[in-house]
Structure 1
Amino acid sequence: MVMNNHVPWSTIGVVIAWYSSNIGVLLMNKYLLSNYGFKFPVFLTTCHMMVCSVFSYVAISVMDIVPLQSLRSKNQFWKIFCLSVVFCFSVVCGNMSLRFIPVSFNQAIGATTPFFTAFFAYFVSRKREAWVTYATLLPVVTGVIIASGGEPSFHLFGFIICVSSTAARAFKSVLQDILLSSEGEKLNSMNLLLYMAPMAMTVLLPATMLLEANVIWITMDLARKDIRIIWYLLLSSSLAYFVNLTNFLVTKHTSALTLQVLGNAKGAVAVVVSILIFKNPISMIGMLGYALTVIGVILYSETKKRYSKS
């Protein structure tokens, strides 16, 4: 079989858009929650879900980017609602962590997602991997421990909620495989977002009122003094949607495996870009720890691919 080495420009464009939206939303959220001083991560996530709901409807029902997949039953509805709750928790914790820790450290912790995925896959669905695959997770965890010890801006609460966000993201992917495993219930990521985003809003709106009671009035008052806050929130929310859209398009243009490899590289790019923009202090030990984590993730991906074929 002859391999075609030519990569279409459309694929390159989609990958660049995916990198830009991923890194852009991280940097924008960090700027808003930390540098700008907008200390409302739950409301920020609510804005994200609101825009994702509108954009998803336009993309699927108006622009026909993908065909609409209807829900088959009440049971499927409640399964997706369950996923939405876990998804909300993950995104809120991820946004909250950016108030306390730099993007570079956030990405180092986020790289441990395969560890938590393997953990939940084993304990929830009894899915076992080869022992070599589990062995590759040791450098993943060791790297984050080293990075934590060498992180000049280490914040315990920020670290804990970032780990919680990473664990919840992994739990959602395992739960998604279990809950939507039958052929009749499978949804592509764009349709899943179409249903999850409004459900997430129903969870986040009361949570916002409870945890960030005066946020609407504070934001309106802030907008009177500085209208840019509205544009910042719109930009952050739009980027949050485009992360999901470009993720879907990259998978469509390449493969799930390529997406995983590109995702590993994206984390490293995000670290470099965030350090250049925010100029947060770094240490050689911290960078070595993060490098070890990335190497572990790459080894994990390779061994998982190899042993799944055998």
Structure 2
Amino acid sequence: MVEPQSWATRRMSNPRLLDSTSTTATTNSSSAASVPADDQVLDIPATPPGDVRGNNAYYYSSAVGSYFSPTVLTASIIASWYFSNIGVLLLNKYLLSFYGYRYPIFLTMLHMISCAAYSHIAIRFLEIVPFQQILSRRQFLKIFALSAIFCFSVVCGNTSLRYLPVSFNQAIGATTPFFTAIFAFLITCKKESAEVYLALMPVVFGIVLASNSEPLFHLFGFLVCVGSTAGRALKSVVQGILLTSEAEKLHSMNLLLYMAPMAAMILLPFTLYIEGNVAAATVEHARRDPFIIFLLVGNATVAYLVNLTNFMVTKHTSALTLQVLGNAKAAVAAVVSVLIFRNPVTVMGMAGFAVTIMGVVLYSEAKKRCKVTTH
């Protein structure tokens, strides 16, 4: 790194500059007489390396860091993560169940288009992370396969919100570790320790308890929500298999940049075949009630913020912290949804949700201990 230099050292290194500055100092002696000579030395900050200078994120981070302390900045990012995650859930629920916009596939396609557009701006213009290219046809096909699984998971999740309350949706979503362990065993033959498998028992027991006592239980909604949770787990396992080599690894934001437009293209024929001429129906709805434009644009924007804040939380804390926050997020989202939508809950349902969350926490701790023992 280049050491900081002072104006005085540069001035003294050049005799001609010394003579001119001396003359200037004599001419302006009346204005500088009251200031000590040492106080007139101006520090010139070290020039950052070329790769850092080319990254706008460096200047953004420096500017933000100068205004906010690290603690305040981290807390703000975590709060934004909570707001975006819970916000997109509540907006989806409001649109699909209460507002009467019954097009979950088209809504998911809007989310993907939004993620593609915002990712392009964040990576190519704001340079939040370095841009990575797809290097081969094989890598492209792998990303396309992940996009298909991603589509299935998100569409099922949005569809389930038409039939289930957010609180029950989040309870089912908390069982993701259970499906991850199953797919890891079936696909990669990876076996976990007995402690890890025992920790998954409360996860399953809690969701069975919550399902039996859920006042607004809907079988189809339950099945598609389970499908969404399983799809999310399958994506994480398949992603670990397909993009394992160093040459094919992509940053999460670059992966989203490629997956989002692929997912939108996959969803387009399905929304046209299943939901009909949804674009014309949306335009007609907007003529009667322009507020839907605000809802759809806001919903799609918040859907991207979920992915952006995911990355920011991991960058400023750790992946483990994100996992812990995710466990707490499910409980917070359930409470907020009950307060807003006033859906009925039972004591047994709340107990089942609590048992599921406890099982997820035990699973995380067991996995962490196994990793420490292995290494």
TM-score under structure 1 normalisation? Answer: 0.97
Which consecutive aligned stretches of 4+ in structure 1 deviate over 6 angstroms post-superposition?
none
Deviation at 1:72, TM superposition (A): 1.2
Does 2:206 align with 1:143?
Answer: yes
Matches of 2:74 and 2:177, distance apart in 1: 26
For residue 211 of structure 1, what is the aligned residue in structure 2?
Answer: 274
Secondary structure of the equivalent of 1:71?
Answer: coil
Deviation at 1:214, TM superposition (A): 1.8
- Of 174, 177, 186, the residue aligned with 2:240 is 177
What's the RMSD between the two structures over aligned residues? Answer: 0.8
**What code does the residue aligned with 2:158 have?**
N
Deviation at 1:8, TM superposition (A): 1.5
Task: Please list, as runs of the form range in 1=range in 2, the aligned pairs for 1:1-310 lying within 5 A after superposition.
Answer: 8-310=71-373
**What code does the residue aligned with 1:300 have?**
Y
Deviation at 1:7, TM superposition (A): 6.4
Secondary structure of the equivalent of 2:162?
Answer: coil
For residue 51 of structure 2, what is the aligned residue in structure 1?
Answer: none
Secondary structure of the equivalent of 1:127?
Answer: coil
Matches of 1:49 and 1:250, distance apart in 2: 21
Provide structure 1 residue ranges, at least 5 long, that are not aligned to the other structure. Answer: 1-5
Matches of 1:209 and 1:298, distance apart in 2: 41
Secondary structure of the equivalent of 1:236?
Answer: helix
Percent of pairs with identical residues: 60
Deviation at 1:278, TM superposition (A): 0.2
Provide structure 2 residue ranges, at least 5 long, that are not aligned to the other structure. Answer: 1-68
TM-score under structure 2 normalisation? Answer: 0.81
Secondary structure of the equivalent of 1:213?
Answer: coil
Matches of 1:218 and 1:10, distance apart in 2: 43
Deviation at 1:10, TM superposition (A): 1.0
Deviation at 1:9, TM superposition (A): 1.2
Larger Rg: 2
For residue 36 of structure 2, what is the aligned residue in structure 1?
Answer: none
Matches of 1:136 and 1:33, distance apart in 2: 35
Secondary structure of the equivalent of 1:185?
Answer: coil
- Alpha-carbon displacement from aligned partner over 1:214-265 (angstroms, at most 9, x marks no partner): 2111111100000011111111111110000000110111111111001000
Matches of 1:134 and 1:9, distance apart in 2: 38
- Alpha-carbon displacement from aligned partner over 1:164-213 (angstroms, at most 9, x marks no partner): 00000000000000000111111111000000000001101111111111
Secondary structure of the equivalent of 2:263?
Answer: helix
Secondary structure of the equivalent of 2:191?
Answer: coil
Matches of 2:291 and 2:187, distance apart in 1: 45
Matches of 2:335 and 2:223, distance apart in 1: 23
Work out the number of aligned pairs and report it.
305
Q: 1:265 to 1:154 in 2, by over 3 A?
A: same
Matches of 2:316 and 2:251, distance apart in 1: 14
Matches of 1:258 and 1:58, distance apart in 2: 27
Deviation at 1:37, TM superposition (A): 0.7
Secondary structure of the equivalent of 2:163?
Answer: coil
Matches of 1:17 and 1:169, distance apart in 2: 22
Higher relative CO (Cα under 8 Å, sequence separation at least 6) belongs to 1
